[in-house]
Chain A
């Protein structure tokens, strides 16, 4: 099991004849992803490796039954590519492209919601469910099948964290890069919800960074709805205010979006925050142990209550 992508994922690659698109289409196929089609307007009928290329997403779906799309087209055309995929009734669209205009993303976001689809990204590394499917650009060599769910606003930082997990013998159910832009299709809460519902996920790693309030919102959500252990890492404690740190969304503005506030919010709801990616597996072990002890204590208590209830029931039955 996994979230969002699995063995049934049939992928169409938009922008497959470009430099990045063709390279990663082959990489995904080599990993075992079922890449069924590519799309580049004007290049229909050609092939990239053994992957057939179509002129439109609609045609690609009609011929191959693709159910997921990944987008590698350049920034000025990326938004149009998202609309095309959504209109062709694709329910899961992953946009890798960096540099998409934020104001256009606000409109696309609304459209995607209305159509009941899911968009991941833009400006993201995509996702990988080890042993099942990889969509995007994450290196397949660092992951291992297992039961840790990983969600991150970053790219290479995610690889670092995954590698720390794999090196510690902890495999992953799914690793999702949600992207570093201001307006993104899928946020932490969406992924936390999916991981909480996913049977194969036993613990969750959430990698955040400065800017916005998604980590604070996630903390509130965790307190209310997440029963699985969550461990976090927040990048940017040394970032100065008012400066964009690489990602369009990584900026401390008007005193909000600080790393220290995010760490505080997470700690407050019992989520430990690692000081280094290498500390993440250590914290997960601690959290799993802690949860198990709590569950045990709770089970003992409820056990006593159940017995008491049964006795009470018998008594009322007798009275009748």
Chain B
């Protein structure tokens, strides 16, 4: 799960990491009032779940409260990479002397948290990694032993020469590592970590992704989920316990299992169609899940046909067939639905499906071709 910069900064501040004073505004007047309160130049920063906000014009400097109000008017409602800005963070502007990068992610290959630091901060770190990898220093941390103070200090020395700044940065790295574990994060990032004219070390930006598998034990963070910032169909799918990702094509896909769902989408593309979505109904599926899945896909007006591909293992084909019958009765879809149910209880499923007379095929390749044909692409 992604959280916004202002939310990540709340977590950082609670952990003792220095962040600039700031608060959230949803209207230009609120932005104005915050700037008046701080009585200093401010930054107006769009809060959307996407990178490259600055380049898109979603982060602006305001000399005074009047300017903050005008900028907030421009940024609120702005579209950044398909997402509408509904909130801005109004935060005290800092005079920047240097910009660095500090990030911690879970490294899959080594199965350890890796801390990355670079004195080339304030820019896209992936670009730095691609063009000048020698500017990034990595430390793989023993997950059982944890991060030692000297290790944090050694990393801090890669960023600063002044011992006071090194101490401050090392302290921030220690606290960031602690936050990474305690928040069950899969990523924590400060880009940039700055120094100002007063020689302070400050987290000017904050980014956090939380491991979805841990949300059950992170109630405070779970409550930070911003439904406004997500695709409505994806929100609905999550509530129905379906794994769903919306795409731009016209072939709706309902599949059991993530790997098979991706393979089905890939075949749709290979045979000349474009998938409208990724949708995994999961293992032990009850009929209601199928009804929800069809409902969510039908809400997408691009969809010209729906493909249902089930390879029954724990998933019972008769359960899915009952769901399909129910979906057809309740939703009366106008687009064709093509079905392939194979595996556990497939014979029972075939009998049940006779009630609705849907076109069906017995192999993956055939069902994909048939769906594209009926979609009229």
Contacts and interface: CB of A to CB of B under 8 A. Distances in A.
A101 B215 CA distance: 9
B176 to A, nearest CB: 15
Nearest to A24: B314
Contacts of B269: 237-238
Interface string B247-274: 1000000011111111101111110001
The range of chain A's interface size is 35 or more
B268 A238 contact: yes
Interface in A6-22: 20
Interface string B234-255: 0000000001010100000001
Given A213-B108, A277-B263, A250 B258 contact: yes
A209 B245 contact: no
Interface stretch (B30-38, B87-95, B206-214, B348-356): B206-214
**Secondary structure class of chain B's binding surface, majority of residues:** mixed
By secondary structure, the A interface counts as loop
B179 interface: no
A103 interface: yes
Nearest to B247: A240
A249 B113 CA distance: 15
Contacts of B133: none
Interface stretch (A33-41, A152-160, A224-232, A304-312): A152-160
A238 B247 contact: yes
B343 A103 contact: no
Contact of A245 (B109, B270, B278, B344): B278
A171 interface: no
Contacts of B109: 212-214, 217
Contacts of A243: 245, 278
Contacts of A240: 245, 247
Contact of A100 (B129, B213, B261): B213
A210 B263 CA distance: 11
A246 interface: yes
Nearest to B141: A106
Contact of B243 (A137, A213, A246): A246
Interface string A262-306: 000000000000011110000000000000000000000000000
B348 to A, nearest CB: 15
A107 interface: yes
Contacts of B312: 139
Contacts of A244: 212, 245
A107 B141 CA distance: 11
Given A106-B113, A110-B143, A209-B262, A239 B278 contact: yes
B259 A102 contact: no
A101 B144 contact: no
B258 A183 contact: no
A131 interface: no
B213 A75 contact: yes
A109 B143 CA distance: 10
A139 B310 CA distance: 14
Given A107-B143, A212-B108, A275-B270, A155 B245 contact: no
Contact of A235 (B129, B186, B262, B342): B262
Contact of A207 (B111, B259, B274, B275): B259
Contacts of A125: 313
Nearest to B248: A240
Contacts of A103: 106, 113, 143, 181, 184, 211, 214
Given A76-B217, A137-B313, A238-B266, A156 B212 contact: no
A250 B262 contact: yes
Interface residues of B, number: 56
A154 B260 contact: yes
A180 B263 contact: no
Contact of B259 (A101, A156, A248): A156
B126 interface: yes
A247 interface: yes
A278 to B, nearest CB: 6
Contact of B313 (A155, A209, A237): A155
A142 interface: yes
A254 interface: yes
A101 B213 contact: yes
B6 interface: no
B112 interface: yes
B108 to A, nearest CB: 5
A142 B216 CA distance: 36
B108 A180 contact: no
A255 interface: yes
Contacts of B39: none
Given A155-B259, A155-B313, A246 B280 contact: yes
B261 A245 contact: yes
Contacts of B108: 182-183, 211-214, 249
Contact of B186 (A102, A138, A236): A102
Contact of A160 (B243, B260, B280): B260
Contacts of B342: 163
Residue from B261, B270, B342 having most chain A Cβ neighbours under 10 A? B261
A156 B262 contact: no
A153 B312 CA distance: 18
Contacts of A106: 106, 111-113, 143
Please give me the 4 A-B residue pairs with the lowest Cβ-Cβ distance, nearest first. A246-B258, A154-B259, A156-B257, A157-B259
30 contacts: A20-B314, A101-B211, A102-B211, A106-B106, A106-B143, A107-B144, A137-B283, A138-B313, A157-B259, A157-B262, A180-B258, A183-B108, A209-B259, A211-B108, A212-B109, A213-B109, A214-B108, A235-B266, A236-B262, A238-B247, A238-B266, A238-B269, A238-B275, A239-B265, A244-B212, A244-B245, A245-B258, A245-B262, A255-B126, A278-B365
Given A239-B262, A277-B364, 20 more contacts: A99-B213, A102-B106, A103-B211, A106-B143, A110-B142, A110-B143, A137-B313, A137-B314, A153-B259, A154-B259, A156-B257, A235-B266, A238-B265, A240-B245, A243-B245, A244-B245, A245-B245, A246-B262, A276-B267, A277-B263
